[in-house]
Amino acid sequence: MAISTINLQPSTWEYGVFLSFRGEDSFKNFTGHLYSALCNASIRTFIDEEELRKGESLAPELTRAIQNSRVSMIVFSKNYASSRWCLDELLQILQCREKGKQLVYPIFYDVEPSEVRNQSGNYGIALAKHEERFGRSDKIQNWRDALTKVANISGWDLQGPMNGYESKLIDEIVQDVLRIVSPRIMPVAKHVVGLESRVDDVLQFNYGTNNNDVRMIGIYGMGGIGKSTLAKALYNKLLGYFERSYFLEISSEILETKKLQEELLSKLLNKRKIEVGSEGEGKMLIKYWLQAKKCLIVLDNLEHRNQFEALCGERDWFGKGSTLILTTRDAHVLKELNKGECYEAKTLVHEESLQLFRLHAFREPTLPKEDYAEVLDRILAYCEGLPLALEVLGSYLSGRSMEEWISAFEKLRKIPHNDVQAKLKISYEGLPDDHTKSLFLDLVCFYGEISEETFNAMGYFSTIEIRNLVDKCLISPWYYSMHSLIREMGREIIRSESPNKPGERSRLWCPSDIHDVLIQQKGTEKIEMIVLNSPMKNMEYKYNTKAFKDMKNLRFLQIDGIHLEGNFKHLPRNVLRFLRWNQCPLKYIPSAYSFERLVKLEMWESNIKEFGVPLKYFQCLEALDLGWCHYLTRTPDFSGAKNLRTLSFWGCSSLEKVHSSIGDLRMLVELDLSCCERLKKIPKKFWHWQLRSVEDPSSSVCYSSKIKELGENSGMLTSLRRLVLSGTNIHFLPYNTSHLLKPAKSISNLRSFFQNNHLKLIQQFPPNIEHISLRNCKNLKMLPQLPQNLLSLCAINCESLETVHLPKMLKIVNLTNCKKLKEIQGWENAQFLRIITLRGVPNIKFSENINQVGFKSFHVEFPY
């Protein structure tokens, strides 16, 4: 069934059935009755009554009839093999079958299948006589092979379950043929956009392999994205090529998998009722009845793994060439499928969204004369390419005036449409536990990306719970982004907790709601999160800390720019895990500012001059970020902060002193001191190695640290994984610094940045490092052998760099403006290289082995 052979296009068949038989054996009884029954069922059937069987080969009319029939039926009778014309018909029929253009069914009439398969009895005698006449030729062997192949195809045996009753067998044959030549087409939505290209994408991906494979096509994505529509289109396009087909729409109301097994078997086998005693028995029945049948099955809306396991758990349950199409909101359901068998349904692009909305709103693909453009753009942005939303809102706004459109859209921004919400909410309700649901409701309070540090600070088992949200298509694995309507659905769940009293809800994100709760001091113990994503109108208003005294369960607080006054003891110090207070107006942190459970503290661009509270009062603190606090002159006392892992003072231009207790931070993984212009030294206790820098007055670096010494051999920080020294004047990075950055075996995504400095020599990189950035290291002349696991190398503006050797796993290389670069070596190893940028590299030469790689498989930007 390769695409190149049949192109999977609907075909117009001249005949529904071609009957191949030996006239003198069966035409006056069984075959004649079968022919009449097929005709009475309006199935156009070709039968030649041996009028065309003359000469040495098949007549052209007979060959054309075989090639233009949807189904060929071979009635094997006692003397079938004695006719050379029958055997030639058989060869022609098999040729059509092997090209994927025809379904073939054997009917064993008054003969055992084994007699045909093994050419014994009458069939053996007939073939022997042919050999006497023609000799042991290839033709005779082809006849033998054809008989064996067809006898192994699932068909009908008169002496089997029918026990010799011809009328019952004929009725079953007619019903089965009707399903093939007159299949049940699934209705697809009246207005569809972009569907054909998506169908082609799926088919091109899945129909280029062996015809006999049992294929599974998994389609996953968020609710309302068009999974069922795509499955219906695929089903309609494919069903003409299968013996049995059924589209099973799985309802959330049917919880018993055995009920689904009963429906699937009853429809595929054309039985009124098949009873299944248990799920295990259902599995055995599916295998027993379907393993010899070529089936097309759609399982639409699989919700749980047990449904997958009960309905299609093993491929050998189905006949060769069978195809199963599975749709789900939960990608985890498809974990048994091969990577190439899973297709993620995509949202519509802008032009497709516009076309679909027009068809529903205006009943035509063009806009009316009235200018709807401005509000239409807002609606399209709101829907973000989700077909369900475009259809529902388009139909809802159809026939309404411009004023009604504007009013309806303003309402939607506050109260989402019920039809859209109900569809999207199914994925939320299908989450495995309340803990994961709580994480999802936390995430809908944010806009944009969310860092892993933030996840961890919330107190969840973030790795597995994030995986559950990704599998349910509620968030994207890329930067954990979220569709705006998914976010609206989650926020509506929170709003419905208390529609008219924000202080009674579990989470607050709306600036006006936050303002009302704080100014009127209406916070309650139900509030768990406050996330201020955008500035309030009353940013200069001062709120009293008493507003927080009843928020006894507040664990996440983000209040950028807010002015708080009063006793900080009113804040929930025993519960709060995350505090982000960027643009904090306080100049000094009061002594009452201490939190026993706080995991992350972020105070960017604040007015703080001195962080007076020792961090021993923050024993759970793992991340402290005081970036761009331009008035900060000294770091906090780190004593007792035994769990601190990341520490950033990026851009603290007035910072002059680092507390000596920094050397006690045995868990510290990341330290960022970029652009700390006044910092002259770091405590010697911090380092077990010494670096000396040489200042260059001609340096064009905007932020150049005045650090001249980074300590001596007196301490050790073996936990450090990421060191950022942007804007420094480091002259030499010796060999024995590498172990400071050497990651533990469990840490794979290590990044190291040595930027805007005077680095001249690196003797060794950590062996497991994956990403290296060496921007603006203008004195760096050479690199050591790069680690074999390195994925990306960025050496922009390294003007003195002369040679680079590529390691095996490297994918991305950027060598822009490496003006003295002369040679790139190791092309024979770079099997995974996809992007290399060489702008501003005028004299580059490649090693002879470059021809082993070629540039066809990846993008290259040359200097010319």
pLDDT winner (highest mean) among 250-259, 328-337, 779-788, 810-819: 328-337
Is the separation of the CB atoms in 651 and 631 below 8 Å? no
User: Looking up tokens 């060439």, which residue turns up?
Assistant: 321
Higher-scoring residue by pLDDT: 149, 367: 149
Residue 713: predicted pLDDT: 36
pLDDT winner (highest mean) among 719-723, 733-737, 782-786: 782-786
Is the separation of the CB atoms in 721 and 751 below 8 Å? no
Q: Is the pLDDT of residue 675 over 80?
A: no
Mean pLDDT of 459-465: 79
Residue 368: predicted pLDDT: 61
Q: Worst-scoring range by mean pLDDT, 123-127, 393-397, 737-741?
A: 737-741
Q: Is the pLDDT of residue 78 over 80?
A: yes
3-state secondary structure of 737: helix
Tell me the pLDDT band of 527, cut-offs 50, 70 and 90. Answer: very high
Is the separation of the CB atoms in 6 and 100 below 8 Å? yes
Residues facing 757 on adjacent strands: none
3-state secondary structure of 576: coil
Which of 806, 222, 228 has the alpha carbon at shortest distance from 472?
222
pLDDT winner (highest mean) among 117-121, 727-731, 852-856: 117-121
Q: Is the pLDDT of residue 695 over 50?
A: no
3-state secondary structure of 147: helix
Q: Is the pLDDT of residue 4 over 50?
A: no
Residue 601: predicted pLDDT: 94
What is the reported pTM? 0.69
Is the separation of the CB atoms in 578 and 599 below 8 Å? yes
Tell me the pLDDT band of 369, cut-offs 50, 70 and 90. Answer: low
Is the separation of the CB atoms in 553 and 528 below 8 Å? yes
d(CA 462, CA 810): 30
* Chain centroid, CA 316 distance in Å: 27
Tokens of 276: 């299944």
Tell me the pLDDT band of 864, cut-offs 50, 70 and 90. Answer: very low
Please report, for residues 437, 531, 552, 597, the alpha-carbon distance to residue 556 in angstroms, rounded to integers and kept in the order given. Answer: 16, 8, 12, 11
Please report, in angstroms and rounded to a whole number, the separation of the first and last CA atoms in the chain: 47
Query: 373-383 vs 402-414: helix axis angle to the nearest 10?
Result: 30
d(CA 92, CA 167): 29
Query: 484-495 vs 418-429: helix axis angle to the nearest 10?
Result: 90
Q: Is the pLDDT of residue 401 over 80?
A: yes
Which of 227, 322, 424, 433 has the alpha carbon at shortest distance from 311?
322
Residues facing 543 on adjacent strands: 564
Residues 6+ apart with CB under 8 A from 57: 88
Which of 599, 598, 655 has the alpha carbon at shortest distance from 626?
655
User: Looking up tokens 């868990």, which residue turns up?
Assistant: 667
Residues 6+ apart with CB under 8 A from 417: 389, 392, 393, 396
Residue 697: predicted pLDDT: 30
**CB atoms closer than 10 angstroms to residue 214:** 19
d(CA 676, CA 815): 28
Residue 340: predicted pLDDT: 84
3-state secondary structure of 505: coil
Tell me the pLDDT band of 838, cut-offs 50, 70 and 90. Answer: confident
Q: Is the pLDDT of residue 441 over 80?
A: yes
Residue 763: predicted pLDDT: 63
Query: 350-361 vs 387-397: helix axis angle to the nearest 10?
Result: 30
Neighbouring C-alpha atoms within 13 Å toward the C-beta of 36: 8
Residue 517: predicted pLDDT: 95
Q: Is the pLDDT of residue 512 over 50?
A: yes
Is the separation of the CB atoms in 601 and 625 below 8 Å? yes
Residue 689: predicted pLDDT: 30
3-state secondary structure of 294: coil
pLDDT tens column, 700-716: 222 234 444 443 333 33
Residue 92: predicted pLDDT: 92
pLDDT tens column, 575-589: 999 999 999 999 988
Which of 133, 114, 105 has the alpha carbon at shortest distance from 122?
114
Active-site entry in 56, 61, 89, 262: 89
- Region of 711 (left: φ > 0; alpha: ψ -120 to 50; beta: rest) is left
d(CA 589, CA 458): 24
Residue 722: predicted pLDDT: 60
Q: Is the pLDDT of residue 563 over 60?
A: yes
3-state secondary structure of 391: helix
Active site annotation includes 89: yes
Which of 754, 738, 821 has the alpha carbon at shortest distance from 787?
738
**CB atoms closer than 10 angstroms to residue 825:** 16
